[in-house]
Structure 1
């Protein structure tokens, strides 16, 4: 038994020695840091396409003609020949004022004219008779002068009677109020039987011509200077716009409409800037056959600035902002991320944003994995393509950055095809 215990004791001490040896070997190994792999992002070369620069403004629609229909003679209103709000053709009679009195005045003037014409005939005959007698020395010069005076007076009386008849006919014409042009007539303001025109002109209704229709808007002084600069590049001056206004297109859109579906032409530019407001008044004219545009509506106005020019485009959702302004994240040839400040242009209908300055046509912009890209760090780059539709879905854990001021928000992610098409 004593030997068994001894053997067991020896084995136990050997195990302790072996464990201690292994522990010492392990302690001699150095701890090494293995850096995580570089984050993966998708980058695409910016697009460069011919883009027309536009000046975007706001304005209001206005009728090309608007006239108050008024009673210019006194009398009772006898007829209203239209339905409130209905369209009226030029020359159609809309209101009638009692005419009996004015017809009688016309008849009276005609009778007076006839009497004066008869007196003129008699005076002409008497003058001719006296002139003949005077040649034969049978009538004195005084008698001839009297006959001449009566003849001239009769001629004047006829002219006066003709004028009176014309005035009576004009007043009779005022008893019918007709449409001066094609247009829609507002609700009548006086009812049948009302006495109108008794203390001056009485407003009966308003007729409005809305086809074609005008859109009025103003340009600020800075915008005028921008246009002047753009025209100078074309070898033109801003004063030439007065001559060339029929050649300047203009587009508008209403608040509930997408884009600018209505096209027209600029037909008036004020010859000077208002010194009090610092604005230049401009007017466009639009065909309005379907009456889609009504007077008084707010309208978004877009005017092209020159011809299309090659412009750098990036997805609008790839643009972010900081205290210095707006920027995009780009990747260089060494796959190092850079923060590039840019000057924004106009947002296009396909969701791409024009870049006025800051990017070159060969630059690669990060369009996916933006949240994982840190300026100055290296990334793994997957090639993508900008196609200008909805932004790609955010990766799990990514959060959208706040959009810069003046940048329209991108559409919400959907199951539609992503805007980035990675290369196989």
Structure 2
């Protein structure tokens, strides 16, 4: 059993411990808070990593784009001009042929026989004419001597004239037989590429056949028929006055350039229903990148902006007030700068107002930026593709 003094001492000891705990708690909190503040002061404000580029002064070409279709300069359906059996086919499908190359042969024997007959008829006519002229000479002498009548002389003269006409007619028949015989040798009328064979050797062929033997298409050079807005007509005409107008044929999705050529023709009327005008461009097509019937995007070089200030197109941002870029300040913070962009080509945008050549613009990482954000940046090499392309 505890005595009175021991109980008093125990209560005093517990009160002292409670006081220490209560007083110690704020002190511990103060120490922890001071430690966090110190750690925050050491870390400093956070920065956003970005990539930047400096504007480049270069020449920027301005293009007009239009949808077009590739069209061959000449496409010929090769047909027979005489009837007969197709004796041989002398080309391979898809083969390139020259003008005058033999494509097919029709059985020539009936036409050779007709020609031989015409030759023989001419020989007969020549013999008859020679005899008639001899008799005419005799009648003329007898008429001078008064032995034969004038009527007999005139009849002989008429006979000679008839034979002369007959000879001329038979010579014309021989020429026709020559032509028909030559038509049995079917040759290519143009330089080009043969298509799929439409008839096989051994078949009977007629001049009235609708299909023919093969279609030959001229591939080099080749043309593109495309359209432009009617509002573009004055600038295209002005470009023509300054010399040949360069055009490019791009794939329909504009991902690759297929060929380079020149503008050859502006159509003589505007399509009122669509407000467009057709133009025709010519390409050498040495590598056959363009194919008849293919849809392409035609890019016409209208003019060139000399000494334009350009930035990578990835630097351009669009807001409610128009286009803007993030400019890096000397203290590594960014500012929003409103700009007026010009043409955008090949990943480069021409800037007409709002930037100076000494500025640095953010090209990647803009999604984390706002006015005054501090950045750490890596410069990128700004391409001068546009300038070299113009030169």
Any conservation in 1 of the 2:325–2:361 contact (CA below 8 Å)?
A: yes
2:297 matched residue in structure 1? 300
Any conservation in 1 of the 2:80–2:207 contact (CA below 8 Å)?
A: no
Q: Distance in 1 between the 2:86 and 2:259 partners?
A: 42
Q: How far off is 1:151 after superposition?
A: 2.7
Q: Distance in 2 between the 1:257 and 1:278 partners?
A: 23
Q: How far off is 1:198 after superposition?
A: 6.3
2:246 matched residue in structure 1? 249
Q: Does 1:162 align with 2:171?
A: yes
Greater RCO, 1 or 2 (C-alpha within 8 Å, sep 6+): 2
Q: Which has the larger radius of gyration?
A: 2
Paired residue total: 351
Aligned match for 1:316, one of 290, 313, 319: 313
Unaligned runs of 5+ in 2: 24-40, 384-391
The CA deviation string for residues 1-57 of structure 1, in whole angstroms up to 9 with x for no partner, is 9xxx9xx9xxx9xx99xx9xxxxxxxxxxxxxx9x9697777654222112222233
3-state DSSP of counterpart to 2:119: helix
Q: Distance in 2 between the 1:167 and 1:79 partners?
A: 24
Describe the shift of the 1:120–1:103 C-alpha distance in structure 2 as closer, same or farther (beyond 3 A): same
3-state DSSP of counterpart to 2:92: coil
TM-score by length of structure 2 reads: 0.73
Any conservation in 2 of the 1:63–1:209 contact (CA below 8 Å)?
A: yes
Q: Distance in 1 between the 2:352 and 2:60 partners?
A: 14
Q: How far off is 1:106 after superposition?
A: 0.9
2:69 matched residue in structure 1? 60
Describe the shift of the 1:198–1:212 C-alpha distance in structure 2 as closer, same or farther (beyond 3 A): closer
1:116 matched residue in structure 2? 125
Any conservation in 2 of the 1:38–1:379 contact (CA below 8 Å)?
A: no
The CA deviation string for residues 399-418 of structure 1, in whole angstroms up to 9 with x for no partner, is xxxxxxxxxxxxxxxxxxxx
Q: Distance in 2 between the 1:317 and 1:286 partners?
A: 33
Q: Distance in 2 between the 1:323 and 1:118 partners?
A: 102
Q: How far off is 1:327 after superposition?
A: 3.1
Q: Distance in 2 between the 1:217 and 1:294 partners?
A: 15
Q: Does 1:49 align with 2:58?
A: yes
Q: Does 1:353 align with 2:348?
A: yes
Q: Does 1:96 align with 2:124?
A: no
3-state DSSP of counterpart to 2:381: coil
Q: Distance in 2 between the 1:276 and 1:129 partners?
A: 83
Describe the shift of the 1:276–1:121 C-alpha distance in structure 2 as closer, same or farther (beyond 3 A): farther
Matches within 5 A, 1:5-404: 45-131=54-140, 141-197=150-206, 199-200=208-209, 203-228=212-237, 231=238, 240=241, 247-254=244-251, 259-260=256-257, 262-307=259-304, 309-330=306-327, 337-348=335-346, 352-355=347-350, 357-362=352-357, 364-367=360-363, 370-374=366-370, 377-378=371-372, 387-388=381-382
Which is richer in helix? 2
Q: Distance in 1 between the 2:235 and 2:351 partners?
A: 14
Q: How far off is 1:150 after superposition?
A: 2.7
Describe the shift of the 1:369–1:85 C-alpha distance in structure 2 as closer, same or farther (beyond 3 A): closer
Describe the shift of the 1:336–1:188 C-alpha distance in structure 2 as closer, same or farther (beyond 3 A): closer
The CA deviation string for residues 357-396 of structure 1, in whole angstroms up to 9 with x for no partner, is 333444553445534543xx4455778756336xxxxxxx
Q: How far off is 1:68 after superposition?
A: 0.6
TM-score by length of structure 1 reads: 0.68
Larger deviation, residues 153-162 vs 136-145: 136-145
Larger deviation, residues 213-222 vs 196-205: 196-205
Q: Please report the RMSD computed on the Cα atoms of aligned residues, expressed in angstroms.
A: 4.0
